Structure 1
Amino acid sequence: MAQNSFKFTAEEKQQIKKAVEAAESKTSGEIVPFFVDQSDEYEIAALRGAIIFVIAALFIVGLLSYTWALPFPITPLEIIIFTLSMGVLGFVLARYSETVKRIFVPKELMVERVEQKALIAFLEEEVFNTKKRTGILIFVSHFEHMVEVIGDSGINENVKQEEWQAVVKLVIEGIKAKDPASGIIKGIHLCGELLERAGVNKPRDNRNELSDDIRLG
């Protein structure tokens, strides 16, 4: 997988950590911000790119031949070489260009992969490992331009999944503005407000159960 596309300065990482600390200071919630470059390699994109470019090449050659628009005679071998070259071009573009790859990956597949990756991160980061099951994962996947917020059982009893969409919106707005740090900080602050309004109260022994640092997967 490529190097993470999200770049945070040391100062931004510290600001994000402080935002988590502030949001957690008033409730028993434990917030885990997690950023990844992409949630899957999407090898299907390269295959689809190659197939579509081959079909396009054959269509172009066939159309030009049918309309007598070819500027010079072309042999069957040259047709094969041209078609295969186009297939290779489609494969390479769909594999190594994010913009092209995104065209050839079905939206439904991206949603599925992001959800799966978020659940894996939830388990690997042990977001569930809190005394009152009050962990929250804010999962951001760069390639897909998607954000998932997953609350543990102790959170979901008080905050509905629909309410997390406001958090998702803030994070996405920050990314679109090329300021992901600001977006995630605003999202974290809103998480704290939602938890406080929902009555996810701070216990007397409110020790920090999960690291407040940003995770880059």
Structure 2
Amino acid sequence: MALLNQQEQAQVAEAIANVERITDAELVTVLAPQADDYTYIPLLWASILALLLPGAVNYFGQWADIHQLILSQWGGFIALAILFRLPQIQTRLIPRAVRHWRASNLARRQFLEQNLHHTKGETGMLIFVSEAERYVEILVDRGISAKIPDVFWETIVNRFTARVAQNETAQGFIECIASCGEELQRQIPASGEKNELPNHLIILD
């Protein structure tokens, strides 16, 4: 996982500017390194395993010392909690449905926080990416959804998601913006000069 460098961010901003010259849509791009820290999930797994594993050993091995059992459970919990915080392990502990749910919630919050629901003609569009979850979503306001069905964006999102999985997020952004621009130009062509929202890529902390 690698966030975009300055040159790549400039390329994304240029791609947005090019599209906004040919359509009334207002594009905003947001990149999040991760949608959530998921602290509770590694702790939950550590708690379950720390309770079950020593308990199973005690059941089959018949430990005589209850204090030793308790110490092994506490020691196991601490060791597993630290181990499960490693990013390469943590990601595998979190169900895909949970990761996508958290990323989807963040995308919707960003749609509101970036004022995409207040554009003239209701033509705001958010292209959102959360790299850790390999999650891509396109959200549009009513002015766009009235002319372009949501299902249209699915193929574009799938292509972009494949780029993110290959650590080609910058190229994915550029291709996605261009593909969106082609349909936006056909359905919502530019009626005049306007630029209500920032063109630069927004990278969340």
Same fold (TM over 0.5): yes
Residue deviations 1:136-178 (CA, integer Å, cap 9, x gap) = 1011112222111100111111111111112212222222222
In the alignment, what sits opposite 2:158? Answer: 169
Residue 77 (structure 2) pairs with residue 81 (structure 1): no
Distance 1:165 1:55 in 2: 43
CA contact (8 A) 2:22 2:185 kept: yes
What is aligned with 2:197?
A: 210
Please report the RMSD computed on the Cα atoms of aligned residues, expressed in angstroms. Answer: 2.1
> Residue 30 of structure 1: which of 26, 38, 43 is its match?
26
Distance 1:10 1:18 in 2: 12
Q: Residue in 2 aligned with 1:100?
A: 89
The alpha-carbon deviation at position 89 of structure 1 amounts to 2.1
| In 2: Cα distance, 1:156 partner to 1:213 partner | 24
- 1:39 is matched with 35
Deviation at 1:86, TM superposition (A): 1.3
Letter in 2 for 1:31: L
Alignment of 1:51-70 (within 5 A): 51-58=47-54, 60-62=56-58, 65=61
**Inter-partner Cα distance in structure 2 for 1:61 and 1:44:** 26
1:114-136 superposed Cα distances (whole Å, 9 cap, x missing partner): 22111111111111232111111
- State the partner residue of 2:111: 122
Aligned to 1:148: 137
For normalisation by structure 2, the TM-score amounts to 0.89
Unaligned runs of 5+ in 1: 67-72
Q: How many residues align?
A: 204
Where structure 2 has 5 or more consecutive residues not aligned to the other structure, the ranges are: none
Following superposition, the deviation at residue 110 of structure 1 comes to: 2.3
CA distance in 2, matches of 1:189, 1:48: 43
Q: 1:32-91 deviations in whole A, cap 9, x for unaligned?
A: 11011222232321332222321442255246616xxxxxx8733222222211111222
2:34 is aligned with 1:21: no
TM-score (norm: length of structure 1): 0.84
Q: Would you say the 8 A contact 1:39–1:113 is kept in 2?
A: yes
Q: Secondary structure of 1:149's partner?
A: strand
Amino acid at match of 1:143: A
Matches of 2:4 and 2:197, distance apart in 1: 21
Percent of aligned positions with the same letter in both sequences?
25
